[in-house]
Structure formats: structure tokens, C-alpha cells
Amino acid sequence: MPTVPATPYPFELDPATTALVIIDMQRDFLLPGGFGELLGNDVSTLTKVIEPLGTVLAAARALGMLIVHTREGHRTDMSDCPPAKLARGRLDTPIGSEGPFGRVLIRGEYGHGIIEELAPTDGEVVLDKPGKGAFYATDLELLLRNAEITSLIVTGVTTEVCVHTTVREANDRGYDVLLLADCVGSYSPECQRVGLDMIAAQGGIFGWVTDSAALLPALLPTRLPPSAPVPSTV
Ligand code: C5J
């Protein structure tokens, strides 16, 4: 089985039982002039993730790995948005209000979509989630179980919010999680550093941390047989 150099110790990767999970690479978070920037953030700390993540995505596609894209957002009537989430932050442009790219974090709006560079292709799972974690109020666990997935490579944004919540949810469900440091991004360099440290602390309390350069050799040598189609929610 290919081994990936990682912290706190090498990660054994079986592409047949590993899914690539890409968290919330949505225009609302990433595009200059969008919701993320409206909140006062520097989006370049997120956009630098796009290139290495695109390389990993291409390698995972070539191997036929299960690929899951998530999108944070809500129904148009916002009946799935908890009042506490809506009120939090006392934002001038709250969830559901008219933002630069349509209603902020509302399904079907331009800003809610995944950026073109990482656009899902047919057969890839697109998972709409109302919360920060990808397991909460979604069928992710069922899809992974049916596909006999036991490990996750987790990528996307933001490191300390939706990525971390998903990693913790996955860890509690018994998945081995490998995080790619250059394929996750935070608006805050401090949160990025501490977020990564927390994953691998205490002997890998939530999982392993490596980067795309260390992972890619493990994704090249083998090719998986075509897997059964997984229903997409696109
Ligand atoms: C946030 C996310 N930061 N995808 N969402 O609100 O991390």
C-alpha cells in the first residue's frame, strides 16, 4: 500500500477506500469582491489553494477515486437556516441578503456555486450542507459507507471552520483523515497554523497533515477499476 510522508507519522493510503473531499470552494468565499471579502477578509489566502488542489483533483480523477464536493448554503426560503446562525456576527450583508453574486449562501445563486477551476464533473458527489460540517444533516455517511470508504483526504476552505468541523465529524465516525496543508485555506494565517497543528497534535488526535507534493506520488502508480456511479445532487 502506498505510504504518504505526513505528520505525526506516515499515512497508509489505499486509493480504493479513500475519498477526496473538497469543502466549500464556492464563489461566495473565494471570489474577489464577494461575500468573504465583504466581511473584511483577504481572499488571496484562499485563492492560493486553487492550483495545488486542482492538481490533486486531476490525479484523484485519473485514479477513479470517489470525489465529494460540498457547498455551504440554504434553501431559498431559508427554512433550514437556524436563527442563531443568521443572527451571528450582526453582519451588514447576512446570509440570504442580496450580495455581490446574488443572495449570500443561498442554493442556486451564482455565489453559492463552486469556482470554475474546480467545477464538479459528472459522477462526482455534490453535497449541499446547511451547517459547517459535511456530515451534519446530509447523507455523506451513507454514501461513504456504500462506497466502502474508510479514509478521507480533506481539502478546501476554511481550515478552522468547515474543514475542521468536517474532520472532527469524520474522526468521530471512525474515518482516517489526511489533511493537505497547501490545499486548505483560512482568511487568518494564525487560524491556518493553529488549525493544522490541532489536527496532528497528540499523536494525530484528529488525523494526519501533509501537502500535495508529498501525496501526489502515492496517487500516480495505480489505477482503480471503474466504480459504481454514485448519485449526484447537482
Ligand atoms: C465559513 C466555511 N467560514 N466554509 N464557512 O463560514 O468554512
Mean pLDDT, all residues of the chain: 95
pLDDT in tens, 30-79: 999 889 999 899 999 999 999 999 999 999 999 999 999 999 999 999 99
6 C-alpha to ligand 1 centroid (Å): 25
Q: Residue 196 to residues 6, 47, 160, 207: CA-CA distances in angstroms?
A: 12, 18, 8, 10
* CB-side neighbour CA atoms (13 Å) of 43: 17
* pLDDT at residue number 33: 87
Task: Please give the model's pTM, rounded to 2 decimal places.
Answer: 0.94
Average pLDDT over residues 150-160: 98
Q: Which residues are tagged catalytic?
A: 24, 129, 162
Average pLDDT over residues 202-218: 98
The protein residue with its alpha carbon nearest to ligand 1, atom 4, reads: 162
Q: Are 163 and 195 in contact (CB under 8 A)?
A: yes
Instruction: Please tell me if the CB atom of residue 104 comes closer than 6 angstroms to any atom of ligand 1.
Output: no
Q: Which helix (H) or strand (E) holds 38?
A: helix 35-38
Confidence band, pLDDT 50/70/90 cuts, at residue 234? very low
The protein residue with its alpha carbon nearest to ligand 1, atom 6, reads: 161
How far apart are alpha carbons 192 and 98 in whole angstroms?
29
Q: Cβ of 91: how many Cβ atoms within 10 Å?
A: 14
pLDDT in tens, 113-134: 999 999 999 999 999 999 999 9
Q: Which residue has the higher pLDDT, 138 or 230?
A: 138
Q: Are 160 and 189 in contact (CB under 8 A)?
A: no
* pLDDT at residue number 230: 57
Average pLDDT over residues 93-105: 96
| DSSP-assigned letters across all residues of 117-181 | GG---TTSEEEEESSSSSSTTSSHHHHHHHTT--EEEEEEE-IIIIIHHHHHHHHHTT-EEEEEE
Residue 190: exposed, middle, or buried by beta-carbon count in 10 A (0-12, 13-18, 19+)? exposed
How far apart are alpha carbons 202 and 11 in whole angstroms?
16
Largest CA distance in the chain: 51
Indicate the SS3 state at residue 224. Answer: coil
How far apart are alpha carbons 13 and 17 in whole angstroms?
8
Whether residue 223 is predicted with pLDDT greater than 80 in this model: the reply is no
The protein residue with its alpha carbon nearest to ligand 1, atom 5, reads: 162
Atom of ligand 1 nearest to the CA of 160: 7
Q: Residue 76 to residues 10, 27, 103, 105, 106: CA-CA distances in angstroms?
A: 44, 17, 9, 9, 6
Instruction: Please tell me if the CB atom of residue 68 comes closer than 6 angstroms to any atom of ligand 1.
Output: no
135 C-alpha to ligand 1 centroid (Å): 14
77 C-alpha to ligand 1 centroid (Å): 20
Confidence band, pLDDT 50/70/90 cuts, at residue 232? low
Residue in 21, 28, 29, 91 to alter for ligand 1 test, most ligand atoms within 8 A of Cβ: 29
Instruction: Please tell me if the CB atom of residue 169 comes closer than 6 angstroms to any atom of ligand 1.
Output: no
DSSP 188: -
Residue 156: exposed, middle, or buried by beta-carbon count in 10 A (0-12, 13-18, 19+)? buried
Return the percentage of the chain with pLDDT > 90, whole number. Answer: 91
79 C-alpha to ligand 1 centroid (Å): 19
* pLDDT at residue number 1: 87
Whether residue 86 is predicted with pLDDT greater than 90 in this model: the reply is yes
